[in-house]
Structure formats: structure tokens, C-alpha cells
Amino acid sequence: MANTPSAKKAARKIERRTAVNKNRRSRLRTFVRKVEDALASGDSAAAAVALKAAEPEIQRAAQKGVLHKNTASRKVSRLAQRVAKLSA
């Protein structure tokens, strides 16, 4: 347990940041799931629209430190590749 005032404050800050990051991660997963669902249904138009909405969300998560930037780029790339494959 935190004993010093600075450790107690750090624990409070970590708790707040954890809540914010959890919310961002959840939002990210929701957008990615929408793309996955559109791909699974075979609807290329819906998949393209969902990807267009998900890409900035993934990049924002990387910018905010929820994801590593390379991980974000990889996710976008793989989703875009699957959407393109469905469209072709």
C-alpha cells in the first residue's frame, strides 16, 4: 500500500489514466469489430465505410499511447488488405 503522499497521489493518477485508457481501448475494439463484422458478412461497401471510420480511431489510439504506432499501422494495413481483397 502507498504510504507517502507522493505515492498516494501517483496511485490516484494511475487509477484515472487506467480508466481513460480502458475507455479508449474499448472504443478502438468496437470500431475494429465493425470492420470485422462487415468483412464476415461479405459486404464490401460496408467494410470500406467501417474501415474509413476505424483508421483514424486506430491512429488516435497510437498517438495517445494505447497502442504502439507500428501495431496501429499493422492493424490498419491488414484490415485494408482484407477490405481490398473482398472488393476485388
Taken as a whole, the chain contains a residue count of 88
Q: Are 61 and 72 in contact (CB under 8 A)?
A: yes
pTM: 0.86
The pLDDT of residue 2: 77
What is the residue extent of each domain of the chain?
Answer: 5-87
C-alpha cell at 41: 458478412
Q: What is the pLDDT of residues 51-85, one digit of tens each?
A: 999 999 999 999 999 999 999 999 999 999 999 99
Write the CATH number of the domain with boundaries 5-87.
Answer: 1.20.58.110
